[in-house]
């Protein structure tokens, strides 16, 4: 397996990320060495929160939350998934799968001998992390999650499956704007509810196709657009520069753009963010039985489980229904807003919810 490693110099000018790096090396299925990075901040004897990010971000997403959590006496461990952040990046599309990400992160967890954990995951951090919890349940005291889930769709209509596959394989060219227009139409139905022709899979496929077809995925622009309030004029000018291949001359938000582009010195490093959306099991795939088994673990979960959703994220609006169905023991926290990446937009509110959950009954 060819593995790329982002040089440390790429992160030198990333603002507000003063955390010391920690590295763990695991072996992949073919014996290659894969180095995984994580942040470890806060009191070593404090209760531990394992916070897992999603696509296309990295542990920098938690940089606004970590000070609040540490002030509350929480030890925060935030890894970078392989393909992201300061972790190594397998270079081929075939290197990535849902199962391999679960295997890699389970091996990382065991190699560090982490235990007595509270888990929090969002986006792919939930899809991967919940299965890691299901693999190693004795290492976890509590589970929290939001803006994510464990989609299980064994009964997806064949016409939906055919439409999604045909669209992914088509020659249709998507732009940032045409992709965002379709994804924003996701109407609050649970991503696991694929029983109608209006299946969320038929909108999420635009994100899947855009990510895979775009060799130099504009992660910095996308995150700037999602995480900060920008004027329409500034967004349009930045988008024009993006289309002209001159993004660095007029980024939307220079600090955010740099932070989320830093892990990728050139487009060859972006295979993880490009490939992973297509592995979200919005339609039945090779992950079906493994997801079913993980959901069975949570069906009988008797430890604390907190469902904490933003409530205003078009991609996951309504997904909480499936979470509460998956885990009857789960409790629902108040929705705090902030959109998909509420770790960035609501850091204090989310930190307070998680700190209170961790300390509850201690």
Q: What is the average pLDDT score of the chain?
A: 93
Please say if 107 is a catalytic residue.
no
Q: What is the pTM of this model?
A: 0.94
pLDDT at 246: 82
How far is residue 247's CA from residue 241's CA, in Å, rounded to a whole number? 5
What's the CATH number where 197 sits? 3.40.50.1820
List, in sequence order, every residue forming a beta bridge with 89; answer none if it has no partner. 4
Of the listed 95, 123, 257, 322, which one is catalytic? 123
The sign of the torsion formed by the CA atoms of 65, 125, 312, 141 equals negative
* 305 beta partners: 143
Catalytically annotated residue among 38, 53, 279, 340? 340
**Active-site residue, from 193, 257, 313, 322:** 313
Q: Of 6-15, 139-148, 161-170, 190-199, which range is least confident? A: 190-199
Q: What is the pLDDT of residue 252?
A: 79
**Which tens digits make up the pLDDT trace of 64-84?**
999 999 999 999 999 999 999
Quick check: is 313 catalytic?
yes
Q: Quick one: angle between helices 201-213 and 158-169, nearest 10?
A: 20
Task: Give the pLDDT of residue 230.
Answer: 86
- The model's pLDDT over 23-33, given as tens digits with 9 standing for 90+, comes to 999 999 999 99
Q: Cα(164)–Cα(91) distance, rounded to whole angstroms?
A: 26
Tally the domains of the chain: 1
Q: Which domain holds residue 221?
A: 1-362
Taking 80 as the threshold, does the pLDDT of residue 362 lie above it?
no
- Structural contact between residues 346 and 64, judged by C-beta atoms closer than 8 angstroms: no
């Amino acid at each position: 397996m060819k593995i790329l490693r982002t040089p440390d110099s790429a992160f030198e000018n990333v603002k507000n990320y003063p955390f010391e790096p920690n590295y763990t090396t695991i072996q992949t299925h073919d014996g290659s060495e894969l180095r995984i990075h994580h942040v470890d901040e806060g009191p070593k004897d404090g209760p531990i929160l394992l916070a897992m990010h999603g696509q296309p971000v990295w542990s920098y997403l938690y940089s606004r939350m970590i000070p609040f959590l540490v002030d509350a006496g929480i030890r925060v461990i935030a890894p970078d998934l392989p393909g992201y952040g300061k972790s190594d990046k397998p270079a081929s599309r075939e290197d990535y799968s849902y199962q391999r990400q679960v295997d890699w992160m389970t091996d990382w967890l065991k190699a560090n001998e982490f235990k007595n954990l509270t888990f929090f995951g969002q986006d792919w951090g939930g899809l991967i992390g919940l299965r890691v919890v299901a693999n190693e349940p004795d290492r976890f005291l509590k589970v929290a999650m939001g803006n994510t889930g464990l989609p299980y769709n064994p009964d997806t209509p064949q016409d939906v499956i055919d439409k999604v596959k045909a669209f992914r394989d088509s020659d249709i060219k998507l732009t940032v704007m045409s992709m965002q227009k379709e994804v924003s139409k996701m109407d609050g139905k649970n991503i696991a509810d694929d029983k109608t022709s209006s299946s969320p899979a038929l909108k999420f496929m635009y994100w899947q196709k855009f990510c895979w077809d775009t060799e130099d995925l504009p992660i910095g622009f996308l995150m700037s657009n999602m995480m900060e309030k920008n004027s329409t004029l500034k967004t349009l000018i930045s988008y024009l520069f993006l289309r002209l291949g001159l993004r660095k001359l007029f980024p939307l938000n220079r600090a955010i753009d740099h932070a989320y582009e830093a892990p990728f010195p050139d487009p060859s490093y972006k295979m993880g963010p490009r490939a992973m959306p297509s592995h979200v099991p919005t339609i039945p795939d090779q992950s079906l039985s493994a997801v079913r088994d993980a959901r069975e673990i949570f069906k009988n979960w008797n430890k604390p489980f907190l469902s904490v959703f933003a409530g205003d994220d078009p991609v996951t609006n309504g997904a909480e229904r499936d979470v509460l169905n998956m885990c009857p023991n789960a409790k629902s926290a108040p929705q705090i807003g902030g959109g998909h990446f509420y770790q960035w937009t609501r850091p204090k509110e989310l930190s307070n919810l998680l700190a209170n959950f961790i300390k509850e009954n201690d």
